[in-house]
């Protein structure tokens, strides 16, 4: 299950130091993955992490979680990034099978392609654990994902609390959503609206993203603002185009009158949230997801019963708790804590 658009930049850090650290880490681990050699007969069991694109920070953080946990458990692990190409992903799958990997952790390019991967792996007898992006079908050991509904519910409560603080009782909320045909999109909308209902806040409209572009986000935000004079908040179900929404608020002269919350996080949110530019964000924990995926595969290889579906909590970060959650954010969200 994906966390944003088709090829979203999962994580972007506002701070340059963090960016530098991230790029160094990416180059370091990417080179390691590409250069992995076939295991020797008496070598450690080898795991392969088939990933859509390691250049995406979210996947990179997740790879780090995989790598850290696999290493801890004594596995040799290789990450094969498909660079978001299905053909390359299949080639990597064939390669992993051909090289007799003990197990595969896959964050596929999409849930459909995952089916073919699962099918090929099954035919070869290789167990597979899926992390984050799900599959449209096939057999797998376990599926590790974020609890989107609960995360959205939590971030909804954060927004309600912020509006309450400001004494806004009658304001409404506009939603700029990812496609609602996706399961995670439906879950996020459902959780958020449950929180709104509990707070007595009414919706002012929903726009579904198609191109995931800045302009699309800006336009949707402006439409919602202009169509609802009593609009008091915008909720962005993705994080990467948050600037379009902020610009629309500014351009409509609603700065300070309309709050902005997001799902997922960008590194600069560590600054924007305390500054009040954003009043909250629901943050997934890719590092933790990678670790859980390895744990599941390891348990399976050891013959233990594995929970077929694991939903990990989403951190609802607000100006009120960012200070407290910062260590967790750094480790599980940004993957900055190495094993």
Partner 1 sequence: MNDKTYSLYAVIVAVIVLSVCAVMAVHVSVSYVTMKNRVVEDTRARAESTLASLQKNIAGFMESFAANEYEKLILTEMDFPDFHAIVVEDYNLGSILGMNAYVTGKIRDDAWRPIDYDRDNPNHRHVVKDCVQKSIQPILSSSGQQIGSVTVCVFGHSLQMALRDVVVTQGINAAAIALLLIMTLFYTLHRIVLKPVSKIARTLTMVDPDGIPRASVTVRGPREISSLSSSVNAMIEAIRNSRRELMEQHEKLREERNRFQLAVQGSQDGLWDWNPVTGEVFFSDQWQAMIGYAPGEIGNTFAEWSNRIHPDDLTRAVEAVNAHLNGETELYEVRHRMACKNGAWKWILARGKALFDDQGKPIRVVGFHTDVTREVEHQEELSEARRQAEQASQAKSEFLASMSHELRTPLNAILGFSQLLKYDPKNPLTPAQLDHVESIIMGGEHLLELVNEILDLARIEAKQEPMSLEDVDAYAVIAESVALSAPLAKSKNITIEDRGGEGSSPVLRTDRKRFKQILLNLLSNAIKYNHAGGTVTVSSEEMDQGYLRVRVSDTGRGIAPQDFNKVFHLFQRLGEDPAIAHEGTGIGLTVTKLLVERMAGRVDFESELGKGSTFWFELPLASNHEAVIWADTLRIGVDAIDKDHQGIVVLMNKASHRDIDETDMDGLVRQLLDHARQHFRREEAVMRVCHFPDLESHRAIHQDLTRQIEALETQWRQTHDLAIVNDIRELLRTLWIGHVMRDDVKISAYAEGKSHEILKALKGLA
Least distance (Å) between residue 102 CB and partner 1: 20
Complex with partner 1: residue 124 or 206, whichever CB lies closer: 124
**Tokens matching residue 60:** 């990179």
Find, among 116, 115, 85, 117, the residue nearest to 104 by Cα: 117
State the residues that interact with partner 1 by CB under 8 A. Answer: 86-87, 89-91, 94, 98, 112-116, 119-120, 136-137
Least distance (Å) between residue 136 CB and partner 1: 6
Least distance (Å) between residue 120 CB and partner 1: 7
Concatenate the DSSP letters of all residues of 275-297 into one string: HTSSSEEEE--HHHHHHHHHHHH
Complex with partner 1: residue 90 or 301, whichever CB lies closer: 90
Complex with partner 1: residue 71 or 110, whichever CB lies closer: 110
Complex with partner 1: residue 85 or 331, whichever CB lies closer: 85
Angle at 4 between CA 200 and CA 185, to 5 degrees: 45
Least distance (Å) between residue 98 CB and partner 1: 8
**303 alpha-carbon distance from chain centroid:** 30
The DSSP bridge partners found for residue 48 are: 78, 104
> Which three-class secondary structure state does DSSP give residue 326?
helix
Least distance (Å) between residue 115 CB and partner 1: 4
Contacts with 80 (C-beta within 8 Å, 6 or more apart), sequence order? 33, 48, 49, 50, 51, 92, 95, 96
Complex with partner 1: residue 24 or 94, whichever CB lies closer: 94
Complex with partner 1: residue 87 or 181, whichever CB lies closer: 87
Find, among 259, 267, 217, the residue nearest to 238 by Cα: 217
Least distance (Å) between residue 87 CB and partner 1: 5
Contacts with 160 (C-beta within 8 Å, 6 or more apart), sequence order? 195, 196, 198, 199, 201
The DSSP bridge partners found for residue 283 are: 315
Least distance (Å) between residue 51 CB and partner 1: 17
Number of Cβ atoms within 10 Å of the Cβ of 95? 17
User: Rounded to 10 degrees, what is the CA torsion of 264, 267, 270, 273?
Assistant: -50
Residue 263 CA: distances (Å) to CA of 82, 150, 240: 26, 11, 10
Complex with partner 1: residue 104 or 272, whichever CB lies closer: 104
Least distance (Å) between residue 85 CB and partner 1: 8
> Which three-class secondary structure state does DSSP give residue 231?
strand
Complex with partner 1: residue 32 or 112, whichever CB lies closer: 112
Number of Cβ atoms within 10 Å of the Cβ of 279? 23
């Amino acid at each position: 299950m994906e966390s944003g658009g088709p090829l979203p930049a999962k994580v972007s850090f506002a701070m340059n130091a963090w960016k530098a650290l991230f790029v160094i880490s990416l180059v370091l681990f990417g080179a390691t993955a590409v250069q992995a050699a076939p295991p020797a007969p008496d070598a450690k069991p080898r795991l392969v992490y088939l990933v859509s694109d390691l250049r995406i920070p979210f996947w990179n953080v997740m790879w780090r979680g995989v790598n850290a946990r696999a290493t801890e458990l004594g596995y040799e692990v290789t990450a094969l990034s498909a660079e978001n190409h299905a053909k390359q992903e299949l080639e990597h799958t064939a390669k992993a099978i051909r090289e007799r990997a003990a197990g595969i952790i896959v964050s596929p390019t999409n849930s459909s392609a995952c089916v073919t991967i699962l099918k090929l792996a099954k035919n070869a007898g290789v167990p597979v654990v899926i992390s984050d992006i799900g599959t449209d079908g096939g057999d797998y050991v376990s599926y590790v994902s974020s609890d989107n509904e609960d995360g959205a519910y939590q971030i909804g409560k954060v927004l309600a609390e912020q509006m309450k603080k400001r004494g806004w009782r009658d304001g409404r909320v506009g939603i700029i959503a990812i496609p609602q045909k996706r399961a995670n999109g439906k879950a996020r909308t459902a959780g958020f609206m449950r929180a709104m209902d509990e707070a007595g806040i009414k919706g002012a409209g929903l726009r579904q993203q198609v191109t995931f572009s800045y302009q699309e986000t800006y336009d949707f935000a402006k439409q919602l603002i202009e169509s609802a004079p009593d609009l008091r908040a915008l909720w962005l179900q993705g994080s990467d185009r948050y600037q379009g929404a902020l610009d629309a608020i500014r351009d409509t002269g609603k700065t300070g009158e309309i709050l902005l919350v997001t799902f997922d996080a960008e590194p600069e949110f560590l600054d924007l949230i305390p500054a009040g530019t954003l009043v909250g964000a629901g943050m997934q924990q890719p590092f933790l997801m990678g670790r859980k995926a390895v744990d599941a595969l390891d348990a399976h290889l050891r013959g233990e019963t594995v929970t077929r579906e694991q939903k990990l909590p989403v951190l609802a970060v607000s100006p009120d708790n960012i200070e407290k959650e910062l260590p967790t954010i750094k480790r599980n969200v940004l993957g900055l804590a190495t094993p």
